[in-house]
Structure 1
Amino acid sequence: MSYIRFRKHYLHIPYLVLAVIEFAVLLGVFIVLTGVYAPQSVPPGPEGVLSASLLFAAILSLGTLAMGGYAEIVRETLSQLYFRTLVAYCFLGGIALALVYAFLPAMDPGSTNLFWAVLICTFVVIVLRRLFLAMVDSQQLVRRVVVFGAGTAAQDLLDDYDANMRAMGIRVVGCLADTSEPVVAEDRLLTTPADLYQYCRKNRISEIVIAPQERRRSEGGWLPVPELMECKLRGIAVTNAIDFYERELRKVKLELVHPSWIVFSEGFRVSRFVQWTKRLTDLVLSLVLLAIAIPFMLLTALAIVLETGRPILYSQKRVGQLGREFRIYKFRSMRQDAEKDGKARWASANDNRVTRVGAFIRNTRLDELPQIYNVIRGDMSFVGPRPERPEFVAELKEKIPFYDTRHYVRPGLMGWAQLNYPYGASIEDARGKLEYDLYYSKNHSLLMDFLIMIQTVEVVLLGKGVH
């Protein structure tokens, strides 16, 4: 098994191992530089050196997590790897360490030691990640998968594999046809073996993914239940395609969802303790963020007035939990006449209704700060599906199956879909984001909320998903 499930969230073991090794490297570099070469720069004694080293390693590891270092490592080029690591360690880590050392000066190793520690860690971690990618992609460690099915569901899985999963240590060997008219390309089809288990054993297959073609009973088709049972009982994983998507891509493939899956699958519920804890966390974080953000909010308001005058704030009706409507507040980023005819419009790339100040506050997410008020009121949470306008919800519910399921959790300032799907302003984009919102609705927990909040730093810094 190459993954564990902790608090309903899938965590891949190779990346957990990488995170542990990186943490040990950060710890070791700091101990050597401060404990051996500059023993007077941190609190004396082994305990003092260890405490300062743990603090250093924890902050830089959080920087990596905030920049999506583990989520994007399998997709990025060498130059992107350099950039992401430099931002995580030299920018985010440097700022965070400077703030921490301002309150804990005894932990400060000195500017020279800190400079060399960060520089050496950056270089060593980049080399370590390149070696990790080579190992994960080696023939000895890849997970070899066979897809049972050759219709549209199997083809969709192959497309997603080519786009996202090829670099994740997975090799799709091919597809076993379950229909006389396969959609999958011929070079991806496998000859149906006489003995499925022996075939899997000889070809080192570790998993069979069931992605059958949807059809009426009269169209025939077959599912080799005895053969699949033998494979399962003899150690080869047999997985539904929908569960495979959920585990590997952390989304719910909409075409595979049936009402029975929602009814009988584990998830889509949280305990009252978690609900109350999340609400308390929302209130505490809102008050802390409000105290920090007040100067930025005043400057934003002044900039809006100087460029386009009043009003400073813009409000819209949005659909919240259980379909209840509420009014959301933002700093105005568009002209006053953006919707003068009263008709709701999707935002678009290079939207000419956006002002110069509006473009800046959208890129930096400063326009979202007034929504702290919505969180305090209880209309929204810090983490959850982004709330949509009633006009769009009515249209999307008619055209996208299960769209209303996203309204069974409280909407949020930041969400799982915002981390994983580029900004969308169309029905097809809403469909793509719903796959991630469904995953969040099914599996959300306090741990997942924490991971989303940390990784949203990357979205803000790099201006991802902004129109």
Structure 2
Amino acid sequence: MIKENQKFLNGMMIAVDGLVICISLILSYFIRFYVNIFNTNQIRLSFKEYLMPLIIILPLYYILYNVYNLYSPHRRKSLDSEINSLIKINIIGLGILMSMFYIFKNVHYSRYVLLIFSIINTINSSLERYFIRRTLREIRSKGYNLKHVLIIGAGELGCNFAKKINDNKYLGYNIIGFLDDNKQPGYKVSKSHILGSIDELSHIIMKRNIDEIMIALPLGEYGKLGAIISTCEKYGVKAQIIPDYYKYIPAKPYVDVIDDLAIINIRHVPLDFPFNRLIKRILDVILSSIGIIILSPLLITIATGVKLSSPGPILFKQERVGLHRRNFNMYKFRSMKVQTHEDEKVKWTIKEDPRKTKFGSFIRKTSIDELPQLFNVLKGDMSLIGPRPERPYFVEKFREEIPKYMIKHHVRPGITGWAQVNGWRGDTSIKERIKCDLYYIENWNLWLDIKIIFLTIWKGFVNKNAY
């Protein structure tokens, strides 16, 4: 029944995706020529001629959707990951379409229509996926379209999995029971019961309607895995293993393969992938360049204020630790009196710090002292979004005191980040800050970066912990 439902759902999503793509192109045409947001004059092809590329766009996007697994079951896939895939698909699609129009010298078809289409289609497709998810969750929470699961192992691991399933009904799983060699049949475990021993697996499969088997054995019982998996494959039932060493690896471990040997990378970093790094770097260069140009009058005004407020240089350069633990000079507008190199290296800024100038207090409180870091972003030392970089002295100190502190150096440091928009900046908990940094590093996607940019603007630059 589940397979039939999945086929129906996939067919429905393909049809809806096609409709959304068509609507997005039609909207792009009307925005370009009737709203005329670019205020340019161009030879206008007929409406029919603007719809002709759908012959190419539809199969192209269906291929990209398949490449990014958008038609695979997504009970456990996050919406953020789907939106991230949609952003990538539309960037790639725009690049391919622009290239094809250039190669075939189609000069009269407005490139602005394609640009608007990629933006609108990303928004429309994201909204479509959101509403489909909401609908499916409502259906599953009412007991429909359920997957019936048998759990092998009623220890701590199996009970923890069962609790999460029972607490999240929208996932659409129904636990039919447990198999365990250490508990008697009928024993109640997490709202279910022990159905028998592991040796009875084939009998239970034949007797019950089972869609999936979750193997949650402790490490000491891994010798039984071979027989369990053989039985599952013999009867054609899908089996999944919940590893007992899960506490030592992140939520999204990356599995690589050398020949036929699987290797688990204990720290999944999406920005390790070249395409992700390239996209993020392109956005950094474009947005930092635009920021420098737009903010140039403000930069000149602040520079003048710094020069007039106290003797010394306008810019303050401080050594920080960045990507791959390499040191670089981070720029700020100087907000303090000139101090010795040793004081600057090891002293932490406090609320009523006597080293600050009056003008310096203002620019620190409003965070505009950080604006010169746009040049660090342009150089490649930093990114717009990422963990905040720290001085070498404190990096050495925190490395010994804070677990997993050094993982933040797997990515470029940022001007703002997930920790900052969640209030962890200035003289606040380093441990909480690192938790946010780790979340960002392991869950990075373009959507998260966009979200952080909007939250930074929405929450404002003034912060009670900025001093």
Q: 1:43 touches 1:107 (CA, 8 Å); kept in 2?
A: no
From 288, 291, 300, give the equivalent of 2:289. 291
Between the aligned partners of 2:163 and 2:303, the Cα distance in structure 1 is 45
Q: Please name the residue that 1:196 is paired with.
A: 201
Question: Cα deviation per residue 1:94-117 (whole Å; 9 max; x = unaligned)?
Answer: xxxxxxxxx9979679xxxxxxx9
1:28 aligns with 2:23: yes
Distance 1:121-1:151 versus aligned 2 partners, 3 A rule: closer
Between the aligned partners of 2:421 and 2:15, the Cα distance in structure 1 is 28
SS in 2 for 1:264: strand
SS in 2 for 1:329: strand
Q: Please name the residue that 1:134 is paired with.
A: 138
Alignment of 1:429-440 (within 5 A): 429=432, 432-433=435-436, 436=439, 439=442
Greater relative contact order, per chain length (Cα 8 Å cut-off, separation 6+)? 1
SS in 1 for 2:399: helix
Amino acid in the other structure paired with 2:325: G
SS in 1 for 2:381: coil
Q: 2:138 touches 2:170 (CA, 8 Å); kept in 1?
A: no
1:462 aligns with 2:455: yes
Q: 1:282 touches 1:376 (CA, 8 Å); kept in 2?
A: no
CA RMSD in angstroms comes to 6.3
Distance 1:323-1:121 versus aligned 2 partners, 3 A rule: closer
Between the aligned partners of 1:188 and 1:435, the Cα distance in structure 2 is 34
Between the aligned partners of 1:319 and 1:435, the Cα distance in structure 2 is 17
Distance 1:376-1:279 versus aligned 2 partners, 3 A rule: farther
Alignment of 1:20-419 (within 5 A): 21-22=16-17, 24-25=19-20, 27-28=22-23, 31=26, 43-44=45-46, 46-50=48-52, 71-72=78-79, 130-135=134-139, 139-145=143-149, 167-169=170-172, 187-188=190-191, 190-191=193-194, 193-194=196-197, 195-199=200-204, 202=208, 204-210=210-216, 212=218, 224-225=224-225, 226-231=227-232, 234-241=236-243, 251=252, 264-265=263-264, 285-301=283-299, 302=301, 316-330=318-332, 342-344=346-348, 370-380=372-382, 387-399=389-401, 403-407=405-409, 409-413=410-414, 418=418
Q: 1:406 touches 1:438 (CA, 8 Å); kept in 2?
A: yes
Q: Please name the residue that 2:446 is paired with.
A: 453
* Identity between Structure 1 and Structure 2 (%): 20
Distance 1:245-1:199 versus aligned 2 partners, 3 A rule: farther
Question: Cα deviation per residue 1:66-107 (whole Å; 9 max; x = unaligned)?
Answer: xxxx95589xxxxxxxxxxxxxxxxxxxxxxxxxxxx99796
Q: 1:177 touches 1:190 (CA, 8 Å); kept in 2?
A: no
SS in 1 for 2:237: coil
**Range moving further from structure 2, 397-406 or 290-299:** 397-406
Q: 2:153 touches 2:180 (CA, 8 Å); kept in 1?
A: yes
Structure 2: any 5+ residue segments left out of the alignment? 3-8, 37-43, 62-76, 82-107, 115-120, 255-261, 352-357
Between the aligned partners of 2:336 and 2:163, the Cα distance in structure 1 is 41
Offset at 1:131? 3.1
SS in 1 for 2:372: helix
Offset at 1:208? 0.9
Amino acid in the other structure paired with 2:263: F
Between the aligned partners of 1:131 and 1:281, the Cα distance in structure 2 is 32
Between the aligned partners of 1:149 and 1:132, the Cα distance in structure 2 is 29
Distance 1:175-1:28 versus aligned 2 partners, 3 A rule: same
Between the aligned partners of 1:223 and 1:73, the Cα distance in structure 2 is 38
Between the aligned partners of 2:195 and 2:240, the Cα distance in structure 1 is 17
Q: 2:149 touches 2:212 (CA, 8 Å); kept in 1?
A: yes
Q: Please name the residue that 1:79 is paired with.
A: none
Distance 1:227-1:52 versus aligned 2 partners, 3 A rule: closer
SS in 2 for 1:191: strand
SS in 1 for 2:196: coil
Q: 2:322 touches 2:413 (CA, 8 Å); kept in 1?
A: no
Offset at 1:44? 0.6
Q: 1:145 touches 1:209 (CA, 8 Å); kept in 2?
A: no
Greater gyration radius: 2
Question: Cα deviation per residue 1:254-310 (whole Å; 9 max; x = unaligned)?
Answer: xxxxxxxxx93269799xx976x7887677555433431124433553369769957
The count of corresponding residues between Structure 1 and Structure 2 is 359
Offset at 1:318? 3.1
Between the aligned partners of 1:274 and 1:246, the Cα distance in structure 2 is 23
Q: 1:381 touches 1:412 (CA, 8 Å); kept in 2?
A: yes
Offset at 1:118? 13
Question: Cα deviation per residue 1:422-461 (whole Å; 9 max; x = unaligned)?
Answer: 5655354356346546746xxxxxxx7xxx2344222222
Q: 1:251 touches 1:439 (CA, 8 Å); kept in 2?
A: yes
Structure 1: any 5+ residue segments left out of the alignment? 3-13, 59-69, 75-102, 110-116, 254-262, 348-352, 441-447
Offset at 1:175? 6.8
